[in-house]
Amino acid sequence: MPSNLSSNETKFQFQGFYQQGYLGGPERPFIRVLVTLHRFRVSKQVDMIIDSGSDVTTLQPKDTLLMLEESQFKQLGRPRRLQGIGGYVESYTEEGAVGFSLPDKRICWVPVVFDITNPKSRSTLPSALGNDVLQFGTTALNAVHRIVKIELWLKNPLITPS
Amino acid sequence: MNDLQEFAKLIKDIVTKNKLSESSIVLSESQDFIYSHRDELIQQYPDQWIAVHKKDVVGHRKDLISLVRELRASGAPLQHIALEMLSREEIPLALKSIL
């Protein structure tokens, strides 16, 4: 997988999609991304809700459970407490990268720090791609026309073939 | 070796080891099956977590951790499996951190 470290490109556009979150509820914006957790050398494709107003970047508990053994959660260190509607959840931070698919099938990788929610504290907390990533660009959401678009301006991005 | 080259090497090592490209194709099929059959799946498995491999529901439980334990014990290909909570109510979002 040779990487193309082109410095000519700085503006990248990624497409997401709308999907219903619960029975009869409104559709929410999602984006399909690749996720790596560096310390554990694991990776997975994850569909993430785009929560552009949030400052947390959270991995869905369902996906972290498939990526990490339960015993590995003990290696994540001391959790923070996040206040949610109706209660609190414990959350850990872990270094990794998020890979966005470009229209030409290449992958644009951005290093991020993920918030990983302890799956035992609440099993239905959805993920969010917050300002950790989106501070490098803009998000365009249009529920009527089902448009989900993220633009990022990146200097020296890591671009790889899919 | 500069930072970007080190980052590239790290990403290459991880995605190669995990066969990420191949697993993502199957996982997309599994996830898309859930999206396109959500209404009927909710009728069958209301307020349960389901595990889907391609177009097959390979597990369902009220409790996510029990479901994942069951999948691990069965030797199911976890990289290919999509999990979804078939909730009939809105799922709460995290709001802010409390130190």
pLDDT digits (tens, 9 = 90+) for B14-73: 999 989 999 999 999 999 999 999 989 999 999 999 999 999 999 999 998 999 999 999
**Does the residue A6 lie in any domain?**
no
- B20 at interface of A, judged by CB pairs closer than 8 A: yes
* B71-99 average pLDDT score: 77
The pLDDT of residue B1: 59
The pLDDT of residue A40: 95
Could you tell me which residues are beta bridge partners of residue A128?
A58
Mention every residue, 6+ apart, whose C-beta is less than 8 A from residue A122. Answer: A61, A84, A87, A89, B92
**Does the residue B69 lie in any domain?**
yes
Indicate the number of domains in chain A. Answer: 1
What residue in B sits closest to A45 (Cα-Cα)?
A: B24
Q: pLDDT confidence of A37, banded at 50, 70, 90?
A: very high
Q: Phi-psi category of B84—alpha, beta or left, where left has phi over 0 and alpha has psi -120 to 50?
A: beta
Relative to beta strand A27-37, strand A80-84 is unpaired
Q: Enter the pTM of the model.
A: 0.89
Q: Strand, coil or helix: what is B9?
A: helix
CB-nearest partner of A19 from B35, B86, B95 = B35
**Does the residue B1 lie in any domain?**
no
As a whole number of angstroms, the distance between CA A160 and CA B29 comes to 23
Q: pLDDT confidence of A86, banded at 50, 70, 90?
A: low
The pLDDT of residue A100: 95
* A65-80 average pLDDT score: 88
* Residues of A with Cβ-Cβ distance to B42 under 8 angstroms: 23
Q: pLDDT confidence of B96, banded at 50, 70, 90?
A: very low
**Does the residue A3 lie in any domain?**
no
* A118-143 average pLDDT score: 78
The CATH number that applies at residue A56 is 2.40.70.10
Of the given ranges (A39-48, A118-127, A149-158), which has the lowest mean pLDDT?
A118-127
As a whole number of angstroms, the distance between CA B3 and CA A162 comes to 22
As a whole number of angstroms, the distance between CA A60 and CA A50 comes to 12
pLDDT at A72 over 50: yes
Cβ atoms B66, A104 nearer than 8 A: no
pLDDT at A1 over 60: no
CA-nearest of A88, A89, A87, A111 to A99 is: A111
**Does the residue B98 lie in any domain?**
no
pLDDT digits (tens, 9 = 90+) for A124-134: 566 778 778 88
Q: Are the beta carbons of B65 and A119 separated by less than 8 Å?
A: yes
Q: pLDDT confidence of A137, banded at 50, 70, 90?
A: confident
As a whole number of angstroms, the distance between CA B18 and CA B92 comes to 32
The pLDDT of residue A115: 84
**Does the residue A93 lie in any domain?**
yes
**Does the residue B93 lie in any domain?**
no
Find the domain containing A141 and state its range. Answer: 11-160
The pLDDT of residue A2: 44
pLDDT at A4 over 70: no
Tokens 């969010």 -> residue: A128
Indicate the number of domains in chain B. Answer: 1
Find the domain containing B64 and state its range. Answer: 27-85
Please give the structure tokens belonging to residue A33: 């991304």
CA-nearest of A39, A29, A57, A36 to A107 is: A36
Query: What is the share, in percent, of chain A residues with pLDDT greater than 90?
Result: 33
CB-nearest partner of A66 from B68, B88, B98 = B68
CA-nearest of A118, A98, A86, A89 to A45 is: A98
